[in-house]
Amino acid sequence: MTERLATGPGAIYWHVPNKGALLDAATASVVATAMAVEVTGSPQREIRAIALGLFEAIERHPWLSPQLALRLSRSPWSSVTPRIFESIGQRVSALGVPESTWFTATSALVHYIFGAAGQNAANSQVLGLGVDRAEFLRATANAWEELDPGEFPFLRSIADEARDHDDREQFLTGIDLILTGITGAEPGGSTRP
Amino acid sequence: MTERLATGPGAIYWHVPNKGALLDAATASVVATAMAVEVTGSPQREIRAIALGLFEAIERHPWLSPQLALRLSRSPWSSVTPRIFESIGQRVSALGVPESTWFTATSALVHYIFGAAGQNAANSQVLGLGVDRAEFLRATANAWEELDPGEFPFLRSIADEARDHDDREQFLTGIDLILTGITGAEPGGSTRP
DNA sequence: ACCTGAACACCGTTCAAGT
DNA sequence: ACCTGAACACCGTTCAAGT
């Protein structure tokens, strides 16, 4: 086990059956506090707030990313992921769209959150100690601009944009995109919460 | 190493420096063939086809899921993920939306694909040998219907829908949702490719 | 009731020795 | 040039023995 805080290696096995169960407990705890933020406003704003809370929790605890996927598939009735689904789904149902679209719309939001947050967490881990974020973005953008114009016209065209984008902001704009798709119209309210 | 096909354990290290490099090579190969499918039609239809190709590749090779996230963050200029970005991005730019939205729109699509496909891969792995899919869905839906009505009204309301949904179909509807959000209108064409 | 610590299984990696 | 196989490091887990 990675953490042996002033105990023998076998000590934890008195309290917990195995590493998976320990991660489950940690996951439940982290996600619970991440979703405990009181949110009020339009459904859209509330969804953005919940999404951002999860995004940041996963950024702080990168091991959450595979963990959430596993828990969702292994026991979709156990506490953690159902709460996420429920929390977002309640706001989706408050958007005033037909009930037949709720399940798919909520799934899309949750999958997007997990995907984007997982990617962000991987980025943060790679950066973490050593590389600077701005430096990294600059290097990436430069590399994209050097690519073959015939094969990679798109990457070249967005290199400038990538150079100084903000991950949180881009994440939330992605949420807005999906919300627009769900309601089939403008998500309403300002662009930023 | 997991696969010791009729060789000594140290044999691979002559050809490849470590396990990561081996996975990188496998990733490149799998993704290349997954995206080699010739697609023609509206940008929307092409995006759906590419997305589904990746979805199915990740379903067949669940180890791709963490692998793609890592590769994207560790070396965003190396071959695999840039190709995915480029391929989808070209179609996004063909949608006729302002260039300033391309980067975020493409990121949203890619993150959604990775998130949904990763979840699906985890599901498939858990099922794989043993549990039947229909049986699993039924059990999940039943469990959701048993939940406390005060705390989980949403999960109870979608339990029926969840019981007999198709993962591929739901995935593609999610793509359509994002495409609608990107164009700010109907994605056009039929619902299914 | 809870912790210790030696021991085991498993797996990624190294490397001197073989062909 | 390429493979073998003993050896090592690392980590999750077990368990008899301690307090």
Convert the pLDDT of each residue in B110-147 to its tens digit.
999 999 999 999 998 888 767 788 999 999 999 999 99
Q: What is the pLDDT of residue B182?
A: 97
HSE of B51, CA atoms in CB hemisphere, 13 A: 34
Domain ranges of chain B: 9-183
CA–C1' distance A14–C9 (Å)? Answer: 20
Question: Is the pLDDT assigned to residue A72 strictly greater than 90?
Answer: no
User: Residue at minimal CA–C1' distance from C7?
Assistant: A10
Spatial separation of the C-alpha atoms in residues B119 and B115, rounded to whole Å = 6
Name every residue whose Cβ is closer than 8 Å to that of residue A44 and which is 6 or more positions away in sequence. A91, A95, A176, A179, A187, A188, A189
Q: Is the pTM of this model over 0.85?
A: yes
Taking only residues 24 to 63 of chain A, the set having a beta carbon closer than 8 angstroms to any beta carbon of chain B reads: none
Please name the fold of domain A9-183. Answer: Tetracycline Repressor; domain 2 (1.10.357)
**Confidence bin at A192 (pLDDT 50/70/90):** very low
Is the CB of B20 within 7 Å of strand C?
A: yes
CB B182 within 8 A of CB A177: yes
For chains A and B, CB pairs below 8 A equal: 190
CB A105 within 8 A of CB B177: yes
More confident residue, A37 or B149: B149
In B, which residues are within 8 Å of A92 by CB distance?
A: 154
